[in-house]
Amino acid sequence: GPLLVIDHVARRYRQGDAAVDVLIDASAQLAAGEVVALVAPSGAGKSTLLHIAGLLERPDGGEVFFDGQPTAGLSDDARTALRRNEVGFVYQFHHLLPEFSALENVVMPQLIRGLGAGEARTRAAELLSYLGLGQRLDHRPAELSGGEQQRVAIARAVANAPRLLLADEPTGNLDPVTSAHVFATLTALARASGLAAIVATHNLELAETLDRRLTLRDGVLVET
């Protein structure tokens, strides 16, 4: 079955006295190895949907199934554990640690998960090399181009081998050529490792390069 099922998800925010229905009916499925674009204007609810899909936030209605398992009934602790094991996040701004090298930035989450230092460094170096950064292992973030920084952020997000990657405007800050490279990197990674990804983006042209496109129209998620 699919890795991720978003099933009739709804989310309402209170804003003062008013209530805003950001998600009214969001349903989608994602298989292992698939990279899906989420294209919608600013404020449409893309981040909200990614946060719900990644178990950071609970929906008000509907259900998210991860690998067939319903998640609504899980405790906060169980949801956190599932998220830490299975979900990686990438944002518009890379949030890499500035004092650490590319390699160390990718080693860090593995040490936190309890992997040995040697093993973590080997995995980080392999991953960064695979993403075309084999000559950049000892560079600090400020010494890397914007596209390279985002590829380090992707490596960090998948360092612990999550099955789901959620990327929120990962190229929002990059020029078109660099953005295309980052998208190609994501797709190659998904093909090689079976990783499933949802990539929120404003860039329609880049969205066309991914497997499928979803959009949010007035709180309803539709395939385009």
Binding site for ligand ADP (CB under 6 A): 13, 15, 20, 22, 40, 42-48, 136, 139, 143-148, 178
79 vs 172: CA distance, rounded Å? 29
- Please report how close the Cβ of residue 53 comes to ligand ADP at its closest, in angstroms: 12
* Residue with Cβ nearer ligand ADP (77 or 177): 177
- Please report how close the Cβ of residue 163 comes to ligand ADP at its closest, in angstroms: 23
- Please report how close the Cβ of residue 107 comes to ligand ADP at its closest, in angstroms: 19
* Residue with Cβ nearer ligand ADP (21 or 67): 21
- Chain residue whose CB lies nearest ligand ADP: 145
Closest-CA residue to 195 (of 102, 124, 94, 127): 127
* Residue with Cβ nearer ligand ADP (59 or 147): 147
* Residue with Cβ nearer ligand ADP (54 or 147): 147
- Please report how close the Cβ of residue 68 comes to ligand ADP at its closest, in angstroms: 27
* Contact indicator for 188, 158 with CB cutoff of 8 Å: no
Q: How far is CA 174 from CA 60, 85, 94, 139, 196, in A?
A: 34, 29, 11, 19, 23
**Residue 75 — left, alpha, or beta (φ > 0 → left; ψ -120 to 50 → alpha)?**
beta
Q: Tokens 């991914």 identify what position?
A: 210
